[in-house]
Every structure is written in C-alpha cells, then in structure tokens.
Amino acid sequence: MAKYDAVIIGSGLGGLCTAYILAKHGMKVCVLEKNRQIGGSMQIYSRDKTIFETGVHYLGGLDEGQNLNRYFQYFNLMKDLKLQKLNENGFDMISFEGDEQLYPHAQGYDNFVEQLAAIFPHEREALKTYIQKVRETCADFPMYNLSNEKKDFTNAWHLQVDSQTYINSLFKDEKLQKVIGGNNMLYAGVAGKSPFYVHALVVNSYIESSYRCIDGSSQIAKIMSNNIKAMGGEILNYHEAKRFVFDGDSIESVELTNGERIEGKTFISGIDLSKTIDMVEGPQLRTAYKNRIKGLENTVSVFMLNVVMKEQSFKHLDHNIYHLINPDVWAGPFYDEKKWPESVAVFGNTNSKHPDYTENFTAMGYMRHEECAKWWDTKSIIPNNINYRGDDYEAFKIEKSEKLLDALEKRIPGVKSKVKSYTSATPLTYRDYIGSRDGSLYGAIKDYKEPLKTFITPRTKVNNLFLTGQNLNLHGVLGVTVSSVVTCTEILGDPDLISKIAKAS
C-alpha cells in the first residue's frame, strides 16, 4: 500500500496550497523540497543582520473581501501575517531618466484615476476606460474572484491583443502610455506578445490594495507548513526528486537523488515544467507533448542587487520604484549589454525593529541567462552543493552591481554614500534556488497570437500525475494560489471546490 495519498514535488506556494487543500480533504500528503528552506520564491536570507526577499516583494488584493485576502482566509493565514500597507497614493512610482516628475500607480480604482489625472488631466476619461477594461477582464476569470461561474472566454478580446498595443490604443499621450506599462517587470512584458489579460490580472490586485510583508514573506510558507503538519501532512526538505518510477502506465513512486523512493497514489509537480517532463523517462508521455513543453519560450531572468544601508541613513521607502533609463518601457528583456541596465526596479524591505527606516533594499535589472553561459555548469546551493564559480564570476557580479548602483544614484541622489554593503544574484542563482530551467522569472511567455499554447491543464496523460504552479494559469502569489485550486478540483473531482473555499473564507 502506498504510504501517501498525494506526493507533491516542490514547496513553492503552489505546492503548499495544493498540499493544504488535499490535507483538509482528508488526504495524507507529503511535500518534497530539494532546498533547506521551503517556500520557493518566498525564501529569504540574511546579510548584515537584515532580511532580504528572494522573490515576493509585495502582495496585492489583501484588503478585507478582496480576492487574495479571501484565499488567505481559507488557508488560515491572515490572522498571523505581519503586513504593512504601501503608500495608497503611489504604491509603485514610475520614473524616467531625465524627467523629474514621478508618476504614481495608486491604490483604489478611483484613486488610481485621480492621481494620474492630476498629471494628465486631458486623459481622465481614458484612465476611467482603462480601469473599466481591467475590471472587465478580471471578471472573465471566475476563479480569480472565487466564483464558480462557468465562462467560455476562448474568444475574449483581451486574449487577442497584446498589452502594449491595447494600452497605446487607449491613451493619446505617449508618456502616459509608458507610465501605464512602466511596471511591466511584474510579468516580464514583451511587446507584441504579452496578452492584455496578463497585464490586467496582475495589476488589478495591486490597484485594489498593496502590501509588503514585515520581516519577509517566508512567514507565509512557515504558517502554511505548520497548518499542513497540523492536519497530518509531512514536508521533507533536502529531498530532491530525480525521476518517476512506473508500474505500467501509473507512477508508483518518485526516486530521489539519494536513491530513496517515496511511494504515493497521486503525484503533483509544482516545479519547472520541463524538469517534470524529464522525470518521465519512459513512453508514458508522448514525444509531441514533451517537445511542446520543452519548446515553450521562457520569460527573461534578472540580476538582483541586495543592498544593506548604513544604520538609520535611508528613510522608510513606502513604495516601489520602476525607473526607466530606456524610454521604451517594453524593451527591457531586449536590452543592449553595452547599455545595461536600461531599467531598474527597487523594492525596500520593512523591518519590525526600525519601521521608520529602510535598512535594505533589492534593486533588479533584467538579465538574459546567456550572459552567464560561461558558468552554466556550476551549482551553488547551500549547504550541500556549493561550487565556487570563479574569480571572473565574482568580478562579473561586482561590475554589474556597480552599474546598477550608478543608475540608481541618478534616480536617488546620495544613495551610494549610504550603502554599507551589498551582495548580488544572477540568473544562475535564481536557477539554483527557485529551480527554473534557465532562471526564468515567471515561466513560459504567454503570447496573444497563440493563447492556448501556454494554457497548461493540471491533468497530464499519466493518470496519476498532475501539475500545479505558475505555468498553469498565471504566475505570482495570487496566480499560483488559483492554480492550486484548479489542480485540486481535478484531483478531488469536486467542481464545487471553489464555492466551498469562497464560503469558508
């Protein structure tokens, strides 16, 4: 008899949410995590006694009654989370090289319009239309709103136009066009590809409300872990899955890199899709399906600079910064290496001990994984797999770090003089810790010209293998939470699951 009803590979939020739902429905679950820390992009680390985020820098939709709040209520998270609301009149500040004006993205639909209309009064009606279209788009995705309504939106307009084209069609003012698309690093937007529905689903929750986790988002993973264990589930770190072992057409167990096998009835993968496919070594998945998955183009990666500030030298940053050096806000992934960085995003971290000051921040610039090709065969995963990548790699990181700081100095004069220390991370780091194939930020690129190509169903051709995580529907905290519900609906065979979650929240 199998030891577990469900074995979940990967402890990112998608895996943890899936484990929670199945455990709540009486299944004996086991979550396998290759790293020391659980949580995927919710992992944190400490430098100079300050905490840095790996990936979850802010959350949207957490006010009472809003979508993520209701999901988090169901997962028994909200009562224990330590959160700080970002500036309501500008949670994201968009800025441009050579332009002293700061352009706010504000919280609240009406406030969003009002704050930008104060700068672009001639575009007030267009701003209202934009908000209306964002909300209409979100309404077409029932589970995004905890609804069980059935909708066929395969021919919906927002799937058939790219974000840049549609945004530009709404606004006559070219600067406002850029401002609206200025935070597209949230979904690694690509001109001529990224569908408007992706833009709408991502930005909508932040416009509703925007929060930062105090002392790091790893608290989400810790609370989820405790809740899963309280229901009898198990979470095993340092357990890296290697391949599936089959009995006929069904998976009998998953073999780990140390040779151990974990038996189960149902297996759910929340890790990189192509790595999941590689774990099926036999003929159980058709070659055409494998080629389709492996042929998906991934979103770009990033270079992350994590900066510790001198004590009480930098006033609390109550908003995020998206600073565009190249005025083409959609050009980020296609930067000229000689002109790097062409855009910079900055996320401050809030420390409960010194809430009036930003003790550290993360600055990010797009980086293609090909820039790290020289060191691609190395691994650095604490504590068991550490390869020193070489002096040239360290020199590469220092060079890029200084370029990012120089770019930031122009946006925030004097910031360099307040820096105590910094560390940095490349696409290699992201690949090793998050587990994506090439350090991709958000998995596969969604292309409006082929909308169904990147809609991945949770059920595979292997009858007891399911998928969850950011590649199913949408990335981000809300996206993977919704994906976990889609996956569990399939596993449990319960079409009313979302209604039960809505009622429970």
Which pLDDT tens digits describe the chain residue by residue (505 residues)?
A: 568 999 999 999 999 999 999 999 999 999 999 988 999 899 888 888 888 888 899 999 999 999 999 999 999 999 999 999 999 999 999 999 999 999 999 999 999 999 999 999 999 999 999 999 999 999 999 999 998 888 777 788 998 999 999 999 999 999 999 999 999 999 999 999 999 999 999 999 999 999 999 989 999 999 999 999 999 999 999 999 999 999 999 999 999 999 999 999 999 999 999 999 999 999 999 998 898 888 888 999 999 999 999 988 999 999 999 999 999 999 999 999 999 999 999 999 877 777 888 999 999 999 999 999 999 998 877 656 666 889 999 999 999 999 999 999 999 999 999 999 999 999 999 898 888 888 998 988 999 998 777 778 999 999 999 999 887 778 889 999 999 999 999 999 999 999 999 998 8
- As assigned by CATH, the class of the 4-43+215-296+447-504 domain is alpha beta
b/e map of 219-237 (b: 16 or more CB within 10 Å)? bbbbbbbebbeebebbbee
Cα–Cα dist 371/180, whole Å? 29
Q: Is 98 exposed, middle or buried (0-12, 13-18, 19+ CB in 10 A)?
A: exposed
Amino acid found at 300:
V
Cα–Cα dist 465/16, whole Å? 17
What is the 3-class SS of 75-113, one letter each residue?
Answer: CCCCCCCCEEECCCCCCEEEEECCEEEEEEECCCHHHHH
Residue 474: predicted pLDDT: 80
Q: Which two tokens stand for residue 462?
A: 């292997």
Cα atoms found within 13 Å of the Cα of residue 93, Cβ hemisphere only: 20
DSSP string, 217-237: THHHHHHHHHHHHHTT-EEES
CATH 3.50.50.60 domain range(s) in the chain: 4-43+215-296+447-504
**Torsion sign, CA atoms 442, 448, 453, 455:** positive
User: Is 432 in contact with 176 (CB distance < 8 Å)?
Assistant: no
Residue 268: predicted pLDDT: 98
pTM confidence score: 0.95
456-461 contact pairs (CB < 8 A, 24+): 456/273, 456/293, 458/483, 458/486, 458/487, 458/490, 458/491, 459/490, 460/285, 461/284, 461/285, 461/286, 461/289
Residue 383: predicted pLDDT: 58
Cα–Cα dist 360/421, whole Å? 10
Cα–Cα dist 228/234, whole Å? 7
